[in-house]
Chain A
Amino acid sequence: MSSSLSPLIHLIDDDDAVRSSLALLISTVGLRVQAWADPQAFMNGFDRQSVGAIVLDVRMPGISGLSVLGTLKEQGVDQPVIMLTGHGTVEMCRRAFKAGAAEFLEKPVDDEALLEALQTAVRQHVKSRGRNQADRQAQARFAQLSAREREVLGLITDGLTNKEIGRALDLSPRTVESHRANLFAKLEADSLAQLIRHYAALVDADS
């Protein structure tokens, strides 16, 4: 799990000089770099779990950077992709963004531009990974609820009081209170606000 600790940048460019110089430049800000000369080898071998970003040259022999980008997105790779091109046209830029590129930079690229784009991309990736993890945890907790508890949760997120919920579900306020305590415990929620923020979307999707 050491790979997920510090961000890893995947750099794909067929030109040795470009690849090594960019790798050197990226390493000066403390980011780890894995450089690939062959796009196919990269797609077969890179660590999809790693946190970080991908720097991809548009013009490569054999397979174009744009089609690599397309394949990555189809496969659900969530690392942000920064495209590099020597001869960028508006049309190419448009296609890159449409295919899901995070950034589009022209060669020769200035260090500030590249490093800032990389750091932004890495930050976003870390954040989205965290958010996804939280989502997964919330889903797991939500799955533990009984049918009655889900009903009660739905009415709580709708803003009803215990009394109103009891009337709506034909239950005594005491029973409602007990369901409420149970679901707060199962969902590991400390406050009503927290409960609503994390689970309102799940309730809507469930009903």
Chain B
Amino acid sequence: MLQVHRHRLPWILLWCLLTALGGLALAQAKLGQIQTAFETDARIVHRLLSQRVVQHDAVLATLALLQPDAETTETSPPEQRLPSVYPQITGVQRRNREASWLDGQLQVAETLSRALRRPALAGADLNRGHYQLVLAAEPTSFALQLDLRAVVPWSEWPMAPDTSPVRVTLTHEGQSFVVQPGLLQGGGWLFEFHKHLATESQPFDVMAARQVGWGELPWGWMLGWAVLAAALLLAGRLLLRQRTERQRAEELLRLGQVARLNTLGELAAGMAHELNQPLTAVLANTQAASRMLNDEPPELSSARGAMLQAVEQARRASDVVGRLRRAVERPDSAAHMQPVELEDAVRNALYLLEPEFKRHHFVSQLDASTGPTIVLAEPVALEQIIHNLLMNAQQALEQVPASERRLTVTVSTQGKLGVISIADSGPGIAVDVLPRIFEPFFTTREAGLGLGLSLCETLASGLGGSLTAEHNAPRGAVFRLSLPLVVSP
């Protein structure tokens, strides 16, 4: 378990990192998007409100210019009709020539207005949402009474005033009027915007604020990304592991071949020494005896002694051979017999040799009959036979041009036998060679030991099957391995 965890830990850490980075990027994108929308809305709000309050300056200027007569026959002066046109204007007052304002605040404002040559604020009560605006003029000055609630152009408002999370207020000298309550609570991120209205006469500050709570982060997308990252990493890990396993298998295969060669080399060296000693003695003794018999006169007794020595050494050589045979005799493989799916066995062998085939510029083709072909065999022996036959085919194919290299493996059934046919398009087997190819130490290759096919044949008959070789039409050779099918109960 510990081993497994140690292997997984880097992947888990990588996943955490990827998830964190992706989540951060997603959150940042979302926040940026919210901020942009908020700033756009706030600027629209500022423009709309500015446009509205500028109208008040214009109305006052018009009144000051026209100086409508208070002493008309009509019931009321004309300016009293303004509230019906502008809903935010709740009242209009005038100071006639030689008269003075009833309200002291208006008086102060008029003086200020006269000095600044623009309308001046009077009696602003933003908390309650109303204020007055005075413009000094001659002979008559006018004052507008304004209601902030009606100043806001709701029809053009960029947000839904009841549900929007953006809070909009107008502030002036510590007082504030809430245009839109919004939703400001909890932690998270706070975006703010403030700017004076675009008129000097009504220097209110437009304040907008937007609180982004944790809940507004794109959790769904972030979760999706985490899942996607996990899936990608899992796939990557799987691919990597497959590659490693394949490399390991190839390595094992190579090692196996080397080991086999080493064992054979050792065996040959040991055999050579064990046999060469008595053979040397036999040869030397008989040749010495022959020379002594040729002497004039012949040295009969010495020659006889030498011949006796030779006989003894010949026996010694024969003992060595007997010992060797007993040492390398294979244990009965019947004990390890088990049902084996032939197609799987072939596929395994092909999979292992595929890189080797690729290196020699050809691909193998596997044709299988429908349904599984299950034989009784010893898996290791079977694998060795298939492997050797495939290697044989590859070596045959090396002798023909790359474009003509074909290797076809067929799995079929024939009566009570499962048959693997390995057909190559190599140079084929000469007629005089064909009957001898399964003999030990018989080889047509320069560096061959002549043991591969002999071993395959021995193994096949050990499994209760057979191995045959034939010509392949139109060219090449085909080897057929037949093994008894599992008898279904």
Q: Give me the interface of A with B, judged by CB distance under 8 Å.
A: 15, 17-18, 20-22, 24-25, 27-29, 59, 84, 86-87, 107-111
Contact = CB atoms under 8 A, between A and B. Distances in A.
18 contacts: A17-B309, A18-B281, A18-B284, A20-B281, A21-B280, A21-B310, A21-B313, A22-B280, A24-B285, A25-B287, A25-B291, A27-B288, A59-B273, A84-B280, A86-B277, A87-B269, A108-B282, A108-B283
Interface string B288-310: 10011000000000100010011
A111 B287 contact: yes
Contacts, number: 76
Contacts of A17: 277-278, 281, 309, 312-313, 316
Contact of B291 (A22, A107, A111): A111
Size band of the interface chain B makes with A? 20 to 34
A29 B279 CA distance: 21
A109 B281 CA distance: 9
List 5 A-B pairs, minimum CB-CB distance, nearest first.
A86-B276, A21-B284, A87-B272, A111-B287, A17-B281
Contacts of A108: 276, 279-280, 282-284
Contacts of B269: 87
B268 interface: yes
A62 to B, nearest CB: 15
A107 B279 contact: yes
A15 B272 contact: no
Contacts of B284: 18, 21-22, 24-25, 108-109, 111
Given A17-B316, A20-B309, A87-B268, A28 B277 contact: no
Contacts of A59: 273
A118 B381 CA distance: 51
Contacts of A21: 280-282, 284-285, 288, 306, 309-310, 313
Interface string B346-360: 000000000000000
Nearest to A14: B277
A28 B272 contact: no
A25 B288 contact: yes
A108 B285 CA distance: 11
A110 B272 contact: no
A190 to B, nearest CB: 45
Nearest to B290: A111
B276 A87 contact: yes
A26 B289 CA distance: 12
Nearest to A20: B309
Nearest to B276: A86
Interface string B224-258: 00000000000000000000000000000000000
Contacts of A107: 276-277, 279-280
Given A17-B313, A111-B288, 7 more contacts: A18-B281, A22-B284, A24-B285, A28-B292, A86-B272, A107-B277, A108-B279
A177 to B, nearest CB: 62
Nearest to B312: A17
Residue from B269, B279, B284, B310 having most chain A Cβ neighbours under 10 A: B284
